[in-house]
Structure 1
Amino acid sequence: MKHLSILTLTVILSSVTMQSFAQQNDFIKDYLERLENSRNYLILVAENMPEEQYNFKASPESMSFAENLMHIAWAMDWHCQTLLGDRKARNWETDTELKVANKSKEEMLAAIDKTFDETIKFIKSFDTTKFNDRLNYLGLNRTKRQIFLLLADHIAHHRGQMLVYMRLNGIKPPRYVLYQ
């Protein structure tokens, strides 16, 4: 009877563990689909804004269209490589790879596309057993799973600003694509 109880308990725990692992892998799969859709839409938005309008700001204290685009790249790198991956953060003041600097529209599009590639590669290899690990996120105690969600929100937030900038310049943004 004792062996049957131990066997039953082992089967139940294994089942729960496998189900949890499958759910975490489903989250990554769903997240990657959303991130790819987000990439495609963001690049379409950036392609449709004329290069001469990339320096447009809605107000003096706002980021320009180009700065919003490159800020998305920098934040993807920071959220994944630094917060989730433990790499030392880039120095925003000195790093030029993910800043506007003197980049052309084409160079910025290449930089954002490359950053999406690196982010997707990182996420594909992310150890989902670390989802519940906690870290300091700008003074808030967050799980690594929450960092994934914060990153998606951040991309949408700045892309939304870019869409408004297009409207303020009389440019009709590309039609919104669901699930991003």
Structure 2
Amino acid sequence: MKHLILLLFIGISATSMAQQTTVKTAWLEKWDNSKNYLIGIAEAMPEEHYNFKPTERQMTFKEQLLHIKGNMDWLSNTYFTTIAFDRKKEALPKTKEETIAIIKAGYESAYALIETTPLEAFEETVEFFAGPKSKIQILNLLQDHVSHHRGQLIVYLNLKDLEPPAFVGW
């Protein structure tokens, strides 16, 4: 019986570790958690405050969310597909529900593009406005940009005396 339990434990541990053995699998897991965290933030803000901005020079809560999504689309499509990215301006969503659906779609699209990227492609260097970068660096930038603006959104929630969701960092 002890041996069976030990084998089961080893099997579960190995399966868990195998899920984060590559840059891609680690990033995909983190990206899913990032999506859930940002959606939690978006859901925490009442719809009547989606046009709130702390100062005139800042974006509104909704504009921050859409800016995050636009950057996701740009980076994932430009550096993980061969199709030229179309930077057309789309009409702003009218409701909180539409905004959240757009954010989810952005995350899912980026996830699908990264998931289908071969592992060896992450080592490739691409031309970026800040100089040559590896695709691994582009992955980091995707998440860093989300984190940067998500932090601002947490401040927006706090200014409205709303409790942000619990942080998940992996």
| TM-score normalised according to structure 2 size | 0.82
Calculate percent identity across the aligned residue pairs.
37
Structure 1 residue 25 displacement after superposition:
6.2
- 1:147, CA displacement in angstroms? 0.1
List, as ranges, runs of 4+ consecutive aligned residues in structure 1 with deviation greater than 3 Å.
Answer: none
Residue 134 (str. 1) matches residue 128 (str. 2):
no
Where do residues 71-110 of structure 1 align in structure 2 (5 Å cutoff)? 71-91=67-87, 94-96=88-90, 101-110=92-101
Q: Give the number of aligned pairs.
A: 152
The correspondence for 1:152, drawn from 128, 143, 163, is 143
Q: Distance in 2 between matches of 1:109 and 1:174?
A: 15
Unaligned runs of 5+ in 1: 1-21
- State how far apart, in whole Å, the 1-side matches of 2:93 and 2:54 are: 21
2:112 maps to 1:118: no
The residue correspondences of 1:1-180 to structure 2 (distance < 5 A) are 26-91=22-87, 94-96=88-90, 101-179=92-170
**Counterpart contact for 2:30–2:169, Cα < 8 Å:** no
Instruction: Give yes or no for contact 1:25–1:128 (8 Å, CA) kept in 2.
Output: no
Query: How big is each residue's C-alpha offset from its partner over 1:38-68, in whole Å with a ceiling of 9 and x where there is no partner?
Result: 0001001100101111111122111111111
Amino acid at match of 1:128: L
Runs of at least 5 residues in structure 2 that lack an aligned partner in the other structure:
1-17
Conserved in 2, the CA contact under 8 Å of 1:41 and 1:177?
A: yes
Structure 1 residue 154, shift from structure 2 partner: 0.6
CA RMSD across the alignment: 1.8
Distance 2:95 2:83 in 1: 28
Counterpart of 2:3?
none
Counterpart for residue 9 of structure 1 = none
Larger radius of gyration: 1
Contact 2:126/2:133 (<8 A) preserved? yes
**Residues 69-108 of structure 1: CA distance to partner in whole angstroms, max 9, x if unpaired?**
11111111111111222322232xx421xx6x24211001
